[in-house]
Structure 1
Amino acid sequence: MFPLGLLTTSVGFDVLYLITERDSFAFTAAHLVAAGVLMGVVTAATGWLDWFLVTPRGTRARRIGLLHGLVNAVVLVLFAVSWTLRLAETDWTPTWPALVAAWLGVLAGGLGGWLGGELVERLGISVDEGAHPDASSSLAPSRS
């Protein structure tokens, strides 16, 4: 969730920049995009491993997981484009193409986030098999 949070927050700082024209908001947005994309690449690597090694083949979860990964890859590409366009500006001021790429990225991120929630909350992927409302703490010694 951190990459999506960083990327979504960057769009908020873009809006603040458009309202106030304060360069510090543009600077912050650009750096949030960079952090979100870098963290997103790491998150994507672990997600693909989870999909490939853990998610059972031939299941709805496998299909949703693939779509989730592909949508989030598009999100990363859109924000990487936005960051590259910002990098070309000396004061990090976002151009309209950079803003449009980020806004499309945040819309796609909403879909990707919903698909991720579907995987965990509805399909139970990457949820501990012993999870329930009265489960013991994960820090408690295991009872074998």
Structure 2
Amino acid sequence: MTTGSPMESAKRPRSILAGPYAHPFHPILVTVPIGAWVASLVFDLASAAVSDKEAMFAEGAYWLIALGVVGALAAAIFGLLDLLTIPRGTRAFKVGLTHMSLNLFVVVLFVVGFLVRAAQGYEEFSGVGTLISIVALALLGLSGWLGGELAYRYGVRVASEETQQEGFR
């Protein structure tokens, strides 16, 4: 692979703020919203199943959604820095735009779910809020698959094969 090729430019950060070469910050940051939102769904299901603890689990789901939204916004900043390394007009860039768009839609869905819960009283089980979370998590799974395509198929922000060979000597 030659230096300066479109593929090589997608491996290098434009700014150290995105993380050093082969160690982007975006993938580690996405664990916060994913974990918070999956846990919020578990809390939703628990609040529906355990009537004497409904308020505790419903409030927990509410705050986990808020934590996930804040974490997603932080991860999005670093994801955008990674997206900007991909040359426009390439298949990888189109996948990156789709990944970003889906993630932004997921955040909007969780914000809507958060507001629905706030309007009805966040200490009660929210069937509508839970349904929104299920749809949002399904879309997040699709977006995660696209993120995997970017890293594992197209090698965005992944070390070059020459660098990777160091681990197999």
Normalised TM-score (structure 1): 0.84
Mapped to 2, the partners of 1:30 and 1:133 lie a distance apart of 46
| Residue range with higher mean Cα deviation, 21-30 or 107-116 | 21-30
Q: 1:100 to 1:64 in 2, by over 3 A?
A: same
Aligned position for 1:65: 96
Q: How many residues align?
A: 135
Greater fraction of residues in helix: 2
Matching residue within 125, 128, 142 for 1:111:
142
Residue 45 (str. 1) matches residue 77 (str. 2):
yes
Identity of aligned residues (%): 33
Structure 1 residue 102: Cα displacement: 1.0
AA partner of residue 164 (structure 2): A
Equivalent-residue separation in structure 1 for 2:158 and 2:74 (angstroms): 20
Q: Which has the higher contact order (CA 8 A, sep 6+)?
A: 2
The verdict on how the C-alpha distance between 1:123 and 1:89 changes in structure 2, with shifts beyond 3 A counting, is same
CA contact (8 A) 1:7 1:36 kept: yes
Any runs of at least 4 consecutive aligned residues in structure 1 with deviations exceeding 6 A, and if so which? none
**RMSD, aligned CA:** 1.9
Structure 1 residue runs without a partner (length 5+): 137-144
Contact conserved, 1:9 with 1:29, CA < 8 A, in 2? yes
